Amino acid sequence: MAIEFIDLPPVLSATGTVRLPGSKSISNRVLLLAALAEGTTEVRDLLESDDTARMLEALHALGVRIDAQGGNAYLVHGTGGVFPVKDTQLFLGNAGTAFRSLTAALALAGGRYTLTGVPRMHERPIGDLVDALRELGADVTYGGKEGFPPLELRPASKPSGGLVHVRGNVSSQFLTGLLMAAPLSGVETTIEVVGELISRPYIEISLAIMARFGVNVVQDGGQRFVVPAGAKYHSPRVIHVEGDASSASYFLALGAIGGGPVRIEGVGRNSIQGDVRFAEALESMGACVVLSDNWIEVSAPPGGKLRALDLDCNHIPDAAMTLATTALFAEGTTTLSNIASWRVKETDRIAAMATELRKLGARVDDGNDFIRITPPKVVATPPQGIDTYDDHRMAMCFSLASLATTVRINDPACVAKTFPNYFELFATVTQPVPVIAIDGPSASGKGTVAARVAAALGWHYLDSGALYRLTAVAARRAGVAWDDEAGVAAIAAGLDVVFGENSISLAGEDVGDAIRQEEISVGASKVAALPAVRAALLFRQRLFRQAPGLVADGRDMGTVIFPHAPLKVYLWASAQCRAERRHKQLISKGISANISTLLADLEARDARDMNRATAPLKPAEDSLQLDSSEMTIEEVVAQVLSWWQERQPFDRS
């Protein structure tokens, strides 16, 4: 089942070391050239992702033998430029590097091939590449809309090779495809770029890898490329895939924003990837950057605050997206220009980035080839979350917003395209705002204990039960029955609540006493059993997690709301003991009460809470259980504080 969203907690700081996955751009280029080469190539550190999976599947369908060696290593048995399978259909998902390069190679391979992808791939233009291939004699027709996939490829109608022209201002992958396919023609092929060549560093990656396989391209000023006659790919025997420099950008930005140092391993100053220059952009923003041959380390500026920049991003087209979210933490207005290629990526990235940044409160101006970001004074928290548009880089870029607030990332699984374990690694180098979760049955004393623990630590306090009581009160006043799930959920989603130091207001009215009535407590238990109500209040509760820390009490704080809380306490006492405590409490306030009735109510509430289908009351597996039946409040508070102290890596006193 697909994960709808992930809620990233607010981050206090970032520090640590990350080993990068292999570069997507290098991985798919290496796989194709290894398949076209003479001899067997051992490819090491290949990226394991959706995009490389599509390339591996396609090569297998074309008859290329590929043996998995374990540990992201593969033996590719080259075909000498002749694919064994001459008639097949290939599905390439939304893998642009695979689709464009295979289109060029198969157009000159003398077979009958159909290339398709996901709907978004069929919206990504490919007409410039097709026009260039037709200049070379290729027989390519569109299976749908002119200028867009899917494509039908047939054996060339005339000898391939010679002079070909291709526009350079839409996608560098068109030129890359032509360059890598050109040796298949057997004759000298000259490729002239019409107009400005965008994303030039990706062309340098292609040329460097072609050279590793024995084909050296002569270039003239970056606008004219000559592939010599008789050029053939030969296996280098072993080739290592560099770490992905685009993926490095998220962690380098973490170091710049979150204090650092954060070190990424697998790519360094000698990288063939242009996106490694992202570190230079961070340095221009004031970050402290250290480069080695195989790692880069970034820390925040000495003063802790980044400054805005105005940057032509032609040299870092993918990594530039990370600068857009980094701009939320910079002083001044950041302008990123020469990014027209964003429009034709996995989504229209300029439009998507502008939309989502505005959700966070930023002022954004955008045009055909630029985006301008002015950060808000306080980063907003959109309850609907950040939409990712089935674009891996959108999901990873907006994870940085967690350095300011709780952020919900919708469809987080889209990172599988290039970085399947991104969020796991993100968690290893970030220090979230700490939470102590205190759960337990009604009248166990958890609210009093949690409030006192929060006061002792100087942290924020969340009485989750108050939210359900407020929902019950609001529903009653609106004439909505407590068992009307849809109606109560709608009320919960729109609660107008303000928590003061010693007060709770609902729609501007102090309801601190009203929500403590026994009837409302019963109503709270009933509405809390409704899945839609719990879903409506989930994100709202997580928003209480703010620096320096949070103590939260309820019935599912440790199991559902804060499942990764570093300390979880399950506080309980016998029903008889709890009834006696509640009786004393009510009598002290001048409220008449019958202990037998209180006991029956508590037992019924316990049964309802423990047996509800959604988030039943139970101890978290890693919770510490505490029977308070024979303990004073002071003793319980002292025990919780002691447990918290034991979890600290060093004495903080």
Alpha helix stretches (DSSP H) within 481-615: 485-493, 518-528, 531-542, 575-588, 595-611
pTM of the entire structure?
A: 0.85
Extract long-range pairs of 215-219: CB within 8 Å, 24+ residues apart: 215/183, 217/179
Q: Residue 586: phi, psi to the nearest 5?
A: -70, -45
DSSP H or E run through 497: strand 497-499
CA–CA separation, 435 vs 143, rounded Å?
Answer: 55
Which residues, listed in sequence order, are joined to residue 116 by a DSSP beta bridge?
91
Q: Look at strands 112-116 and 87-91 and give their pairing.
A: parallel
The string of DSSP letters for 498-531 reads EE-SS-EEETTEE-TTGGGSHHHHHHHHHHHT-H
Determine the number of helices (DSSP H) and then strands (DSSP E) in the chain. Answer: 20, 33
Prior bond of 563 cis (ω within 30°): no
**What pLDDT score was predicted for residue 653?**
36
Prior bond of 548 cis (ω within 30°): yes
CA–CA separation, 530 vs 613, rounded Å?
Answer: 9
Burial 513-548 (b: 16+ CB within 10 A, else e): ebbeeeebbbbbbbbbbbebbbebbbbbbbebbeee
**What pLDDT score was predicted for residue 383?**
85
Q: Residue 613: phi, psi to the nearest 5?
A: -70, -35
Task: Look at the block and give the residue holding tokens 């409160």.
Answer: 361
Positions of the chain with pLDDT under 50:
651-653
Q: Residue 405: phi, psi to the nearest 5?
A: -165, 170
Assigned token pair, 23 = 């570069």
Q: Residue 555: phi, psi to the nearest 5?
A: -120, -10
3-state SS class at 441: coil
CA–CA separation, 340 vs 317, rounded Å?
Answer: 9
Assigned token pair, 155 = 């054996």
The string of DSSP letters for 193-209 reads EES---SHHHHHHHHHH
Burial 260-275 (b: 16+ CB within 10 A, else e): bbbbbbbbbeebbbbb
Q: How many CA within 13 A on the CB side of residue 582?
A: 26
**What pLDDT score was predicted for residue 2?**
64
Q: Which residues are catalytic?
A: 318
Nearest alpha carbon to residue 196 among 177, 222, 218, 219: 222
DSSP H or E run through 312: strand 310-312
Assigned token pair, 488 = 């109560």
Task: Look at the block and give the residue holding tokens 């289109």.
Answer: 103
CA–CA separation, 205 vs 203, rounded Å?
Answer: 5
* Number of Cβ within a 10 Å radius of residue 574: 14
**What pLDDT score was predicted for residue 651?**
46
3-state SS class at 163: strand
Contact 195, 165 (CB under 8 A): no
**What pLDDT score was predicted for residue 652?**
42
Nearest alpha carbon to residue 564 among 636, 638, 621, 644: 621
CA–CA separation, 480 vs 539, rounded Å?
Answer: 23
**What pLDDT score was predicted for residue 47?**
94
3-state SS class at 335: strand
pLDDT in tens, 552-564: 999 899 999 999 9
The string of DSSP letters for 264-294 reads EES--TT-S-GGGGHHHHHHHTT-EEEE-SS
**What pLDDT score was predicted for residue 649?**
65
Q: What length does the chain have?
A: 653
